[in-house]
Structures are given as C-alpha cells and as structure tokens.
Structure 1
Amino acid sequence: MSFDDVRVTRVSSSAFQRVAAAPMTVVAHRGAPALAPENTILAQEIGRRSGGVFIENDVRLSRDRVPFLMHDPTVDRTTDGVGKISELSAAQLRGLDAGSWLAPVFAGARVPTLAEQLADLRTRGGSLLLEIKETDSMEDVAAVVDVVRAEEMTGRVVIQSFDPQHLRWVRQLAPEIPLGLLRPKLDADPVAVSQELGLALYNPSGVALEARPSVVADLHAAGLGVWVWTVDTAEQWSRYEGYGVDGLITNRAGELTGWLSGRGAGR
C-alpha cells in the first residue's frame, strides 16, 4: 500500500487536554525506576504494562553524536562505567552494564539508543515524552530530531525541555513535533510564553503549580495542555485532578493507573 497525498500538519495543542470525565494521562517517568533500571528498554516495558500512555525519558548525545537515553551528565550512577556521556563513544556506551547498580537480576541491561527506544515503541505500542538535556547546540537538537524522523515516530513523540531555546530549535527543525516546556517555577505569564514558543504542553512541577493553581484554567483557555511532574502520592493525584490538570508524570505509573481506575468506577 502506498500514498502520494500525505500532508503533515502540526498537532493541535488542545489534543493534550482531557475531556470532561476522562482520566488524566499517565506518564511513566523514566519508565519504571522503582522496578527496573531507569531509562532502559525493560523499564519502558514495565512502564507501558503499568498503564503509562507516555513513557518519559531523557536524551543525551555520545561523543560521536549518537543520542542515548541517560538522565545524568555522567554514566557513573546508573552504569558500571565512569565519565561524561559526551566524552564516551557509542561503542563504549553500548558496552556498559546499566542494570547491576539497581539489583543483580538486572545485570547485562544496556543503555539504549534513542533509535532502539523508538523502534520498541513503534512495534510494541506507546508514545514518548522526550526531554532534551543540557546542550547549547542546534546541531545536537537536530541529531535527536533526525532519529525521531528516521524512526517515523513524529506523531508519537512530544519533545520537552527546561530550556526554551531547545524548543525553538525543534520548532524550526520539525514543526510537526509537539512541544512541552518544563518549569520548576511558573512564568509570570505562562500563556504568553507558551504562545511565543508554539507549545502544546506547559509542564510545571507540582510545587510550582501549588503557587497558582488557577493557571491551569488560563492555559486551557489558550488551548494548552498541562502535565505536572513528578508526583507520586494519591494525595497529590487527587489535588491536581481537582486543579484540572491533563496528565501526571510519575514514578508510580501502575499505582496511578489503579487509582484512576478506582476513581472512574466510583463515578
């Protein structure tokens, strides 16, 4: 089967807003970090089976510009290696054990490339909330975007960052990929910032949202979705649900899924 009339259009921001009575979107933070080595394919699989509609992962580039999943700037904490990921080659990173640090049963787990992660999601199901970590290079951002496009996953990836410049570069390179801005504190005017960056999602920390919960309604009125990070207790889930947020980024995807299911049954 072939198509010669396909047109790529930017996803509407409102696509990330939950409709009335719908549950909040479950976003599995780093996969399932309490149950498997974070940012690995196994953690992704557990996060997906736990009800994560999106998997949240972090991406950094190796010395030879291959995007790998890694939260920290160094491999020290989550592998048997040492050093900055930006100073290690792809071959060196592929040879690291990314599981033994958590438990012996995970020995031999590997640091996945972004391409490997996306291939897994494409064939097994699920979407990706991908955070670009520190970089001051448009070329680095382009390397990430190129992989998303090569894996034909632009329709199932949202790219987020704390750095607005990263999002400007993504928008310039791939306007079809939805964008999310991470915020440890609320901007004075989140709507204006979101519109300037062309965001689909404004993603504050739970602590930041506590300062001004009314911002959710403002963002919704402007067509934005709101996903909050990183929230792991039922008390928080209930409070943020009351604020009207659209999604929760959590380390406890399975428990959140069960909690949401119970809430739905009680309605």
Structure 2
Amino acid sequence: MVAHRGASAVAPENTLAATRLALAARADWIETDTQPSRDGVPFVLHDRTVTRTTNGTGAIRKLTAARLKKLDAGSWFARRFTGARLPTLAQQLAYVRRHDGRMIVEIKGPHTKTQILAVVRVIRAQQMTGRVLLQSFDEVSLRRVRQLAPELPIALLRTTIDKDPVAVSKRLGLAAYNPKGSALLARPGVVARLHTAGVAVFAWTEDSAARWKRLDAIRVDGIITNKPADLVHWKSRQVGI
C-alpha cells in the first residue's frame, strides 16, 4: 500500500504534512519525487516547475536551495496548510526514518552522474539504504544508480509494458518493474513471469476499489494510490473476509 506523493488526496502533495497523514494511515511505503535545485540540493517536487504547488514560479532546476526553502507549498491546497515548506529529500527521509517508514523515491527526469551521486549521498547519510527503493522512467539514471550505489534497489517506471519486461528487468538489474495500472491489467500474465524472475511489481496510480480488487487478484506487490487511508481500509476488509 503505497501513498502517492504522501496522502495527496487530503494534504498538499510531497509535503511533510502529506507524509505524516500517509504514515498515520499505515501506508507501507511513501512514494515521492526528487529533483535538484540549481545548486545541486535534492528537493521533493513532482513538476518541472514550482508554479502549480507553491507560491513561487519557475523551474526548480533554476532556483537555489535558499529560494526553494522559502516557498509556501501548502496554501495552494487549503488554507490550513499555509506555511508548509517544500522539503529537501534529506528532510523527508529523516522524517520517514524517525517513524520507521519506507520510501519509494522517483528520480524525476534526467539526472547527471553528479546529481545521482547527490541523491545517493543523502540516502546514505540518512541511513535509509535498507528502506528506499529508487524508481525512474529514465533508464540512464537507473544505470547510474547501479554504478554508484549497487546496494540500492531500483525500479523502472513504465506507461506501457515492454514486449519482454523480464529481459528488460535483467538488463537493468531491477528489483521492481512498475507499470501503469491500466497497462498491467491489459497484460496481467506479466506479473507471474516477473515474479518467477525475482522481480516485484508495483502498479500506479489507482484510486478506486474496483481497480484495487483487480490488481490484487493478479497478485501485484504494491498499489500506488493518492488515497492510502482508503486503500488500507479496503485491504483490511479483504483480509477479514
């Protein structure tokens, strides 16, 4: 049960408030996104720009860490979240570690070797190497993770499923293969084949009980959702039957 950008249906996405609510809901994982500031500090943000989810404007990679730390990342969502900050990856990892949680961190967009190394150093410094799964759509970034930090498990994000996802997984050294839920339901047999190859499968991003039921039936390892409290409640009802 994976909280997409935290409990993003009820709190501003990718903030510590969203993380706190997801952990309180007993989500197994917190999914988040990381991108570097202009001066190379990994921050937590989904979009290429800060415009949609903060009171600032502009591309995150063109703004300094000092500027990013001053932005209000909560008032766009609801008045009661006014003053919530855009967390650094280090801050979010530290918060999750203190609450015994686990994180799926998406490397958002292409990253240079130096930028990947910055992410790796933060994970190591926060003593989260055993509780982080790094995922990305960008294969080059994943290969760089394997080169720089072979101890960190990696996952490939896909909108559609490869002709041979097992071969792709072996080529990249994946711990997990994470396709869009609808694509996975169109080819449910790939789950068993990936499991046989020792690769986990996480489906994104599904918010309805009907889809959770279908994904659970094909034995996915995780469902990424904007509504972690609802998913936890739904799953507890299934276990109780």
Q: Residues 34-64 of structure 1: CA distance to partner in whole angstroms, max 9, x if unpaired?
A: 1111001110010111121110000000001
C-alpha deviation, 1:123, in angstroms: 1.2
Q: Residues 90-143 of structure 1: CA distance to partner in whole angstroms, max 9, x if unpaired?
A: 010000000000111110000000010111111122000000011241111111
In the alignment, structure 1 residue 176 sits paired with structure 2 residue 151: yes
Query: Any stretches of 5+ residues in structure 2 without a counterpart?
Result: none
Q: What residue number does 2:20 align with?
A: 45
On the 8 A contact 2:110/2:138 being kept in 1, the answer is no
Q: How does 1:106-255 map to 2 (within 5 A)?
A: 106-255=81-230
1:81 and 1:30 map into 2 onto residues whose CA distance is 19
Q: What residue number does 2:38 align with?
A: 63
2:145 and 2:152 map into 1 onto residues whose CA distance is 8
On the 8 A contact 2:33/2:108 being kept in 1, the answer is yes
In the alignment, structure 1 residue 257 sits paired with structure 2 residue 232: yes
Q: Which has the higher contact order (CA 8 A, sep 6+)?
A: 1
Count of matched residue pairs: 241
SS at match of 1:186: coil
Q: Give the partner amino acid of 1:185.
A: T
1:197 and 1:146 map into 2 onto residues whose CA distance is 21
Percent pairwise identity: 54
Q: What residue number does 1:19 align with?
A: none
SS at match of 2:122: helix
Please tell me the root mean square deviation across aligned C-alpha atoms, in Å: 0.8
Q: Give the partner amino acid of 1:253.
A: P
1:251 and 1:224 map into 2 onto residues whose CA distance is 24
On the 8 A contact 2:110/2:140 being kept in 1, the answer is no
Q: How does 1:78-93 map to 2 (within 5 A)?
A: 78-93=53-68
2:7 and 2:212 map into 1 onto residues whose CA distance is 18
2:23 and 2:85 map into 1 onto residues whose CA distance is 18
1:247 and 1:85 map into 2 onto residues whose CA distance is 30
Q: Give the partner amino acid of 1:129.
A: I
Q: Give the partner amino acid of 1:43.
A: A
Q: What residue number does 1:30 align with?
A: 5
2:217 and 2:79 map into 1 onto residues whose CA distance is 41
Q: Residues 232-256 of structure 1: CA distance to partner in whole angstroms, max 9, x if unpaired?
A: 1000010011111111000110011
Query: Any stretches of 5+ residues in structure 1 without a counterpart?
Result: 1-25
- TM-score, structure 1 normalization: 0.89
Q: Give the partner amino acid of 1:259.
A: W
2:86 and 2:134 map into 1 onto residues whose CA distance is 20
1:73 and 1:149 map into 2 onto residues whose CA distance is 25
Q: Give the partner amino acid of 1:133.
A: K
4+ runs deviating over 4 angstroms: none
Q: Give the partner amino acid of 1:126.
A: G
On the 8 A contact 2:54/2:73 being kept in 1, the answer is yes
1:122 and 1:233 map into 2 onto residues whose CA distance is 29
